């Protein structure tokens, strides 16, 4: 890939990852506004619902207007969401009397726009990597691009701990910082020499053509895999700090978020980077199976260990196992049906809505039982992802 083309696209992917800030916001908002776990999970619920509402329409629009147009639309909507809290006084200096429910509702509105912008950017960004990739290198290049999403996701964990310990500022600093990053991405994309390559053989997408693809059993299974994966990633990211706080009494702002990041998102980032190298030597399908087995082992450690070191090791294994599952599912599906890439992109990005529902289920289980047993929900989901690995292996042999 031409570096002049890919670097601004990498920054776009980093901006996409900032939607995942809704994950650590669950634990932070829970403390700031004295919310129940279930109420706090409204943050990812609203953000990720936008993936369900907008992705298919954006896939259809993309077929007509192109990926660059859709990327710019998503950037603008995300930027609007980020400035709402800033103009409400949330830029790192919230006071005790500022933590009213009215302010929480403004944050919910902001997350709605941030999620909508992220959804639109994902629809265009993931297949756009295929446009600028050499033949046979889509899975590898998408894993590399997805590692930048992890950097954006990581900021939601790192910034609150950094500004609290160094500058005495609160977690709301993420809003102005994110806004600057998104604005920079917009300028670089439009001032640079990034151009899409229109796929001449791609059929025009429509709502009917999108839903018709779901009659294909393989497509249905893979699309469901995106739902499951995204739900588990957000659920584990948002509930691990709560697990560390409730079970081991580790402070959230001081250390809990930092530990959660280093054991979950850092392994995802490193795993995606390594995955782009490993796929020179093993097939994407074999990597998908290995990833699922590692993640299952990690969840079992979280569920059945009462020792802090083993629990932390479990979180690390889940993060490392999760690293390449999303880009593998996405790229394997599109490589099987490249003529339907706009429809498939719309369908699969729609399923990122799983990030809204599985954390809500997990939060309800935690409120009804304990935070530890809430991790039964991601265990069941990861078993399904492992099944997809064997499904693709069987398809490869046939």
pLDDT of residue 27: 65
Using only the alpha carbons of the chain, give its radius of gyration. Answer: 20
- Cβ-based burial of 296 (10 A; exposed 0-12, middle 13-18, buried ≥19): middle
pLDDT > 90? residue 299: yes
Q: Which of 12, 47, 3 is nearest to 231 (CA)?
A: 47
Q: Please compute the mean of the pLDDT values over residues 337-361 and round it to a whole number.
A: 84
pLDDT > 60? residue 17: yes
User: Looking at per-residue confidence, does 40 or 126 come out higher?
Assistant: 126
| Per-residue pLDDT band at 52 (split at 50, 70, 90) | confident
pLDDT > 50? residue 41: yes
Considering the entire predicted model, what is its pTM? 0.76
Which residues are within 8 A (CB) of 289 and not within 5 positions of it... i.e. 6 or more apart? Answer: 386, 389, 390, 393
Q: Please compute the mean of the pLDDT values over residues 180-194 and round it to a whole number.
A: 84
pLDDT > 50? residue 296: yes
pLDDT of residue 2: 53
Least confident of 85-89, 212-216, 291-295: 85-89
Contact 333, 222 (CB under 8 A): yes
As a whole number of angstroms, the longest Cα–Cα distance in the chain is 64
pLDDT > 90? residue 317: yes
pLDDT of residue 166: 80
Q: Please compute the mean of the pLDDT values over residues 190-206 and round it to a whole number.
A: 63
pLDDT > 50? residue 281: yes
Least confident of 91-105, 127-141, 289-303: 91-105
pLDDT > 50? residue 62: yes
Cα gap 9→182, rounded to integer Å: 12
Q: Please compute the mean of the pLDDT values over residues 243-247 and round it to a whole number.
A: 83
pLDDT of residue 254: 55
In this structure, the chain runs to a length of: 398
pLDDT of residue 321: 93
| Per-residue pLDDT band at 217 (split at 50, 70, 90) | very high
DSSP characters for 311-330?
HHHHHHHHHHHHTTHHHHHH
Torsion over CA of 66, 72, 77 and 78, rounded to 10 degrees?
120
Residue 204 main-chain phi, psi, to 5 deg: -65, 130
pLDDT > 60? residue 199: no
Cα gap 235→191, rounded to integer Å: 37
| Per-residue pLDDT band at 100 (split at 50, 70, 90) | low
| Per-residue pLDDT band at 258 (split at 50, 70, 90) | low
Contact 161, 253 (CB under 8 A): yes
pLDDT > 80? residue 32: no
Question: Tokens 């932070």 — which residue?
Answer: 28
Tell me, rounded to whole angstroms, the distance of Cα 377 from its chain centroid: 18
Contact 224, 353 (CB under 8 A): no
Least confident of 5-9, 171-175, 369-373: 5-9
User: Looking at per-residue confidence, does 357 or 72 come out higher?
Assistant: 72
pLDDT of residue 3: 57
pLDDT > 50? residue 44: yes
pLDDT of residue 266: 83
Instruction: Round the average pLDDT of the chain to a whole number and report it.
Output: 83
Q: Please compute the mean of the pLDDT values over residues 280-290 and round it to a whole number.
A: 90
- Rounded percentage of the chain residues whose pLDDT exceeds 70: 88
Cα gap 309→327, rounded to integer Å: 30
pLDDT > 60? residue 97: no
Question: Tokens 């990041």 — which residue?
Answer: 261
pLDDT > 50? residue 201: no
Cα gap 282→120, rounded to integer Å: 32
Cα gap 123→322, rounded to integer Å: 21
Domains detected in the chain:
3-397 (1.20.1250.20)
């Amino acid at each position: 890939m031409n570096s002049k083309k890919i670097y601004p696209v990498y920054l776009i992917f980093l901006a996409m990852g900032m939607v995942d800030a809704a994950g650590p916001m669950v634990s932070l908002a829970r403390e700031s506004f004295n919310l129940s776990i279930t109420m706090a999970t409204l943050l990812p619920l609203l953000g990720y619902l936008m993936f369900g509402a907008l992705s298919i329409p954006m896939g259809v629009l993309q077929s007509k207007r192109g990926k660059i147009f859709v990327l710019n639309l998503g950037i603008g909507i995300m930027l609007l969401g980020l400035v709402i809290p800033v103009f409400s006084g949330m830029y790192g200096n919230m006071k005790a009397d500022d933590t009213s429910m009215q302010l929480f509702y403004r944050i919910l509105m902001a997350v709605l726009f941030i999620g909508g912008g992220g959804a639109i950017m994902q629809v265009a960004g993931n297949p756009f990597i295929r446009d600028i990739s050499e033949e046979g290198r889509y899975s590898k290049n998408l894993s590399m691009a997805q590692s930048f999403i992890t950097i954006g996701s990581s900021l939601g964990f790192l910034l609150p701990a950094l500004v609290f310990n160094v500058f005495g500022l609160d977690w709301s600093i993420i809003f102005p910082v994110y806004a600057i990053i998104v604005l920079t991405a917009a300028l670089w994309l439009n001032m640079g020499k990034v151009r899409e390559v229109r796929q001449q053989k791609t059929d025009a997408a429509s709502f009917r053509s999108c839903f018709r693809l779901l009659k294909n059993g393989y497509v249905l299974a893979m699309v469901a895999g995106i739902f499951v994966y995204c739900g588990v990633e957000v659920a584990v990211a948002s509930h691990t700090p709560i697990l560390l706080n409730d079970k081991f009494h580790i402070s959230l702002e001081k250390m809990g978020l930092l530990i959660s990041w280093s054991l979950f998102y850092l392994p995802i980032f490193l795993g995606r980077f390594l995955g782009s190298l490993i796929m020179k030597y093993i097939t994407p399908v074999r990597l998908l199976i290995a990833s699922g087995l590692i993640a299952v082992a990690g969840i079992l450690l979280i569920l059945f260990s009462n020792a802090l070191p083993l629990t932390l090791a479990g979180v690390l294994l889940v993060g490392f196992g999760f690293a390449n599952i999303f880009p593998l599912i996405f790229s394997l599906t599109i490589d099987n049906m490249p003529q339907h890439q706009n429809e498939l992109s719309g369908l699969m990005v729609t399923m990122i809505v799983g990030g809204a529902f599985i954390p809500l289920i997990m939060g309800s289980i935690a409120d009804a039982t304990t935070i530890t047993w809430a991790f039964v929900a991601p265990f069941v989901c990861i078993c399904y992802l492992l099944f997809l690995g064997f499904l693709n292996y069987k398809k490869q042999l046939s």
